[in-house]
């Protein structure tokens, strides 16, 4: 049986926040997304980063959730094939289900991100 990774340390949270901000900037520059999609998805990435408490720790399910959102954003920015994007979306849904109880705010943002992708036909 696989064990869950240890919670991330305090110094990793600012790194995660920075990564989410950088991904938001990358999405805003993606030429293959329409302007509204770019802005809306980037804003949710920034909101996700702002929701993380830089003075607290981040649990394994929450870390998986932020990683999964980041992977979807990277796949969008890099214009991966629809199959790869679907795999990233599926992993994000699974991560959201696992993190729902302990991180409802972050999970809500992740679900909004997924809903927004669907509304833009992504």
* Residue 122 pLDDT: 80
The one-digit pLDDT tens for each residue of the chain (122 residues) are: 344 444 555 568 999 999 999 999 999 998 888 999 999 999 999 999 999 988 878 889 999 999 999 999 999 888 767 888 899 999 999 999 999 999 999 999 999 999 999 998 88
- List the domain boundaries for the chain: 12-119
Question: Residue 7: how many CB atoms within 10 A of its CB?
Answer: 15
> 8, 90, 97: which is closest to 54 by C-alpha?
8
d(CA 76, CA 97): 22
| 27 burial level (CB within 10 Å; 0-12, 13-18, 19+) | buried
d(CA 122, CA 112): 13
Residue 81 DSSP one-character state: -
> 65, 52, 62, 59: which is closest to 94 by C-alpha?
65
């Amino acid at each position: 049986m696989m064990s869950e990774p240890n919670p991330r340390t305090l110094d990793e949270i600012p790194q995660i926040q920075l990564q989410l901000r950088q991904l938001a900037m990358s999405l805003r520059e993606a030429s293959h997304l329409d302007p509204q999609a770019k802005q809306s998805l980037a804003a949710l990435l920034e909101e996700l980063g702002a929701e993380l408490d830089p003075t607290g720790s981040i649990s394994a399910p929450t870390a998986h959730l932020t990683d999964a959102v980041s992977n979807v954003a990277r796949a969008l920015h890099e214009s991966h094939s629809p199959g790869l994007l679907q795999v990233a979306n599926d992993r994000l849904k699974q991560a959201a289900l696992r993190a729902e109880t302990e991180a409802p705010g972050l999970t809500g943002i992740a679900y909004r991100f997924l809903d927004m992708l669907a509304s833009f036909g992504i």
